[in-house]
Chain A
Amino acid sequence: TQLLEQSPQFLSIQEGENLTVYCNSSSVFSSLQWYRQEPGEGPVLLVTVVTGGEVKKLKRLTFQFGDARKDSSLHITAAQPGDTGLYLCAETGNQFYFGTGTSLTVIP
Chain B
Amino acid sequence: NAGVTQTPKFQVLKTGQSMTLQCAQDMNHEYMSWYRQDPGMGLRLIHYSVGAGITDQGEVPNGYNVSRSTTEDFPLRLLSAAPSQTSVYFCASSYDQTGGIYEQYFGPGTRLTVT
- Please determine whether A96 and B45 come into contact, CB atoms closer than 8 angstroms: yes
Q: Which residues of A contact B12 (CB under 8 A)?
A: none
Chain B interface: which of A36-44, A54-62, A70-78?
A36-44
Tell me, yes or no, whether B84 is within 8 Å of chain A by CB: no
Tell me, yes or no, whether B40 is within 8 Å of chain A by CB: yes
Roughly how many angstroms separate A16 CA and B48 CA in the complex, as a whole number?
41
Q: Which residues of B contact A96 (CB under 8 A)?
A: 33, 43, 45, 102, 104
Given A1-B59, A95-B58, A96-B33, decide whether A48 and B44 contact each other with a Cβ distance below 8 A. Answer: no
Roughly how many angstroms separate A97 CA and B48 CA in the complex, as a whole number?
13
Q: Which residues of B contact A31 (CB under 8 A)?
A: 101
Q: Which residues from 43 to 57 on chain B have a C-beta closer than 8 Å to any C-beta of chain A?
A: 43-45, 48
A: contact size bracket:
20 to 34
Tell me, yes or no, whether B64 is within 8 Å of chain A by CB: no
- Please determine whether A98 and B104 come into contact, CB atoms closer than 8 angstroms: no
Closest CB in chain B relative to A40 CB, distance in Å: 8
- Please determine whether A48 and B101 come into contact, CB atoms closer than 8 angstroms: yes
Closest CB in chain B relative to A84 CB, distance in Å: 18
24 contacts between A and B (CB under 8 A): A1-B59, A31-B101, A40-B108, A40-B109, A41-B108, A41-B109, A42-B106, A42-B108, A42-B109, A43-B43, A43-B104, A44-B106, A48-B101, A48-B103, A88-B42, A88-B43, A92-B101, A92-B102, A95-B58, A96-B43, A96-B102, A97-B59, A98-B35, A100-B40
Residues of B within 8 A of A (CB): 4, 33, 35, 40-45, 48, 58-59, 90, 92, 97, 101-109
Known: A42-B108, A98-B35, A100-B42. 16 other contacts (CB 8 A): A42-B107, A43-B104, A43-B106, A44-B106, A45-B104, A48-B97, A50-B101, A90-B43, A92-B101, A95-B45, A95-B48, A96-B43, A96-B102, A98-B42, A98-B43, A101-B42
Residues of A within 8 A of B (CB): 1, 4, 9, 31, 33, 40-45, 48, 50, 88, 90, 92, 95-101
